[in-house]
Amino acid sequence: MTEIYPHKIESKDVNLYYGNFHALKGISMSVEKNTVCALIGPSGCGKSTFLRLFNRMNDLIDGIKIEGDCLIDGKNIYSKEVKIDELRKRVGMVFQKPNPFPKSIFENVAYGLRVNGISHKTLIEERVERSLKQAALWDEVKDKLKKSAMQLSGGQQQRLCIARALAIEPSVVLMDEPASALDPISTSKIEELIYELKSQYTIIIVTHNMQQAGRVSDSTAFFYMGELIEYDLTKKLFTNPSDTRTQDYITGRFG
Amino acid sequence: MIGILFSILGFIIYKGIGVISWEFITEMPKDGMTKGGIYPAIIGTLCLIGGSIIFAFPIGVMSAIYINEYTKHGYFRSFIQLMTSNLAGIPSIVFGLFGMSLFVNQLGFGDSILAGSLTLGLLVLPIVIRTTEEALKAVDDNFRQASLALGATKLQTIQRVTLPIALPNILTGLILSIGRVSGETAPILFTVAAYFLPKLPTSIFDQVMALPYHLYVISTSGTNINDSRAMAYGTALVLILIVLILNLTASAVRRYLSKKNNIN
């Protein structure tokens, strides 16, 4: 595929208001294809809200107002021609709390395919297997695909949610603190996974864990009070931040 | 509470068990309703339960889906909810009067299963709406978001995720409605119930006997009240048993579904 546009994901002077509250203040940044971008910052700084711009999950909230442009592959995803459910097929999302459906493991992964009108049995089976392999869960569940997903451990559930998001073949994956509810072993599995998925997907991950951001991401954005304070390569931002607020945050002086 | 329940049940069983027999539940009443059985009243009540649920359940569930999934928080939603509560507060005899005026006379259904079922359906509509609303509210928003984030439309999300998860609790509304429908006398008084009709209905435009009304008739306005006293307790017992069996069935289904969902 030829890349006409330089950036996979881009936001141009985005402002977002919850009623009168100005939650995102003129955010402009871009993420390159097949990289991992980490969003860090104290609670309430707007990083999750920013993440949710790109699959338009913020649209579900009453009384929200969004200004500016969000582009994926150079196209404004807030323009009138964009169908929200079409957009969400291209932009997968993994939530903070593992939220598999109370269905079987197989049906969880197949869900996205079915709602998108795919009903070919072997195609679904192939995709489910491939997605579970990509999410490093296949070996643990291949003998119990018909069992309820609710019986899996928290870490397995989260990898199932990743498999579910990958099954519809998105090009972008948004992750909202995907490991914050998990134990250290599950967390490291998820991190390895993110590292491997990078070759096929562009990933934006919100995290509270500084080490995690350092380990998995190529670029890091530091948000504070709804503003983008600093955005740079992860190595640069963590070793030599330009802004004192970034420095204070990553060294743990506030947040 | 449980003590009161069991003393009422015990009393009815003690007084009514003597007349319960195969003949009692399978034969027509005879000799001025002092002998024979209550078969047509049982069938009549089952028809009314079925008819009113067929009417009220889909409309009630769809209304609740509309209120909970489509309206936004605010005046409009509060207004609908207030009206639903008001509807639930209207005395059942008023529903009877309304049913007679609209279904029996205006729409020309006459005294019929159809008119009675619709009237009873209106009566239980608020119960179905309220319990379904609560059931939908109890579904974790994370499930809805997960579905939408996978590119599902709102309707697909409701059909494939929200409703299946809420279904066990929605059935609670159904159970409550069945109990209410089978016991109500006032709404069927002017719309369907027959004083004495020893034959089975052949269409939805027929009148039927119904257990609660039959109970009323043989207790207070029959020709030989003293002779039919025992049968009144027997009728009450059968009515309670029908409700009990239907409730047990519904709660077994409910339990099965919760287990399948594996979230409760």
The ipTM value here is 0.90
Q: Look up the domain containing B146 and give its range.
A: 39-193+200-261
Q: CATH number for the domain including B153? A: 1.10.3720.10
The reply to whether B205 falls in a domain is yes
Residue A161 touches chain B, beta carbons under 8 Å: yes
Q: Residue B22 — pLDDT band, cuts 50, 70, 90?
A: confident
For chain B, the domain total comes to 1
| B61-76 pLDDT tens trace | 999 999 999 988 889 9
Q: Which residue of B has its CA nearest to A88?
A: B151
CA distances from B195 to B37, B221, B226, B239 (A): 14, 10, 18, 17
Q: What is the pTM of this model?
A: 0.85
Q: Which residue of A has its CA nearest to B145?
A: A57
The reply to whether residue A85 touches residue B160, judged by beta carbons under 8 angstroms, is no
The reply to whether residue B261 touches residue A102, judged by beta carbons under 8 angstroms, is yes
Q: How far apart are CA B29 and CA B115, in angstroms?
A: 24
**Is pLDDT of B32 > 80?**
no
| B103-114 pLDDT tens trace | 999 999 999 999
Instruction: Identify the pLDDT of residue B125.
Output: 94
Sign of CA dihedral A72, A165, A98, A136: negative
Instruction: Identify the pLDDT of residue B264.
Output: 39
Considering only CB atoms, A88 lies closest to which of B149, B261, B262, namely: B149
Domain boundaries, chain A: 9-250
The reply to whether B63 falls in a domain is yes
Q: What angle do CA A253, A219, A201 make, to 5 degrees?
A: 135
User: Would you say B215 and B235 are in contact if contact means Cβ atoms under 8 Å apart?
Assistant: yes
For the domain A9-250, what is the CATH superfamily, name and number?
P-loop containing nucleotide triphosphate hydrolases (3.40.50.300)
Q: How far apart are CA A68 and CA B35, in angstroms?
A: 83
**Is pLDDT of B133 > 90?**
yes
Which residues are CB-neighbours of B128 under 8 A, at least 6 positions away? B56, B57, B59, B60, B61, B64, B173, B174, B177
The closest of A94, A95, A96, A75 to A86, measured between CA atoms, is A75
The reply to whether residue A88 touches residue B150, judged by beta carbons under 8 angstroms, is yes
The reply to whether residue A165 touches residue B72, judged by beta carbons under 8 angstroms, is no
Q: How far apart are CA A129 and CA A142, in angstroms?
A: 8
The reply to whether residue A60 touches residue B146, judged by beta carbons under 8 angstroms, is no
Average pLDDT value for chain B: 89
**Is pLDDT of B247 > 50?**
yes
User: What average pLDDT does the segment B46-66 reach?
Assistant: 95
pLDDT in tens, chain A (255 residues): 344 557 899 999 999 999 899 999 999 999 999 999 999 999 889 999 999 999 999 988 888 999 999 999 988 999 989 999 999 999 999 999 999 999 999 999 999 999 999 989 999 999 999 999 999 899 999 999 999 999 999 999 999 999 999 999 999 999 999 988 888 888 888 899 999 899 999 999 999 888 899 999 999 999 999 999 999 999 999 999 999 999 999 888 765
Q: Where are the alpha helices (DSSP H) in chain B?
A: 2-16, 22-26, 39-65, 75-89, 92-99, 113-137, 141-149, 154-157, 163-183, 186-189, 211-216, 229-261
Instruction: Identify the pLDDT of residue A205.
Output: 96
User: Would you say B12 and B234 are in contact if contact means Cβ atoms under 8 Å apart?
Assistant: no
Q: In terms of pLDDT, which residue wins out, A50 or B259?
A: A50
Instruction: Identify the pLDDT of residue A3.
Output: 46
Q: How far apart are CA B260 and CA B254, in angstroms?
A: 10
Percent of chain B with pLDDT over 70: 96
In B138-157, the residues whose Cβ lies within 8 Å of chain A are 140, 142-143, 145-153, 156
Residue A41 touches chain B, beta carbons under 8 Å: no
Residues of A in contact with B263 (CB under 8 A): 102, 150
HSE of A58, CA atoms in CB hemisphere, 13 A: 24
What does DSSP say about strands A64-72 and A75-76: parallel, antiparallel, or unpaired?
antiparallel
Instruction: Identify the pLDDT of residue A255.
Output: 52
Residue A151 touches chain B, beta carbons under 8 Å: yes
Residue A52 touches chain B, beta carbons under 8 Å: no
Best of B150, B153, B154, B165 to substitute, by most chain A Cβ atoms within 10 angstroms, is B150
Instruction: Identify the pLDDT of residue A48.
Output: 93
What is the three-class DSSP state of A62?
Answer: coil
* Least confident range of A228-237, B115-124, B238-247: B238-247
Instruction: Identify the pLDDT of residue B262.
Output: 62
